[in-house]
Amino acid sequence: MVLRFTGEHDSKVDSKGRMSIPAELRRVLEAGDPGHAPGEPTTCYLLYGDNLVESLEVYSVDEYEKLVAAIDEMDDDDEEKEFVTQYMIAQVQTLSVDKDGRVVLPLKRREKLGVPEGELILRGALDHFEIWKSDRYEVTVKDRSARFLAGKGANYNPRSAIKKKKKD
């Protein structure tokens, strides 16, 4: 069974940058870290590229390696490869999840979010999870969702989009 990052989780970051990762997300990181042993730190990758305006992204070792392999497969003369490499290879930081399920978010990354310390939302996105400043998440994601739903009608069922894609 493949574990995926799902759900919305409240978290906090303190003045030293310590942030707890909920157990549900931690299990996915541990399962996706081939070098992980019980009781030992888990490695993950924090993407903070210029393309990420209001959030940060966290990938397990396995999922990050899939991204690296896909980038490596791009044609060297593909002009997008340079930018994809910048955003996903150069603008990344390795983090270690300690035995208590905490990581230290570097100050520069917290400042990018506008949260030197305070409330965060961690949002599952299947192959990674996002870190958002709580109030920005409420405004950005909830507003985007409301606009989308406004165009779909009162009884919109997201499963219809999945079924539609399977038929194509």
Share of the chain above pLDDT 70, in %: 96
Structural domain of 60: 8-167
The CATH number covering residue 108 comes to 3.40.1550.20
| Residue 117 domain flag | yes
Confirm whether 14 is domain-assigned: yes
User: Band of the pLDDT at 163, cuts 50, 70, 90?
Assistant: low
In a domain, 3, yes or no: no
Taking 90 as the threshold, does the pLDDT of residue 162 lie above it?
no
In a domain, 1, yes or no: no
Query: Does residue 157 lie within any of the structural domains?
Result: yes
Cβ proximity of 42 and 97 under 8 Å? yes
The tally of domains found in the chain comes to 1
**Stated pTM of the model:** 0.91
Would the pLDDT of 5 be above 90?
A: yes
| CA distance readout (Å), 77 to 74, 80, 144, 145 | 8, 9, 35, 37
Is 2 domain-assigned?
Answer: no
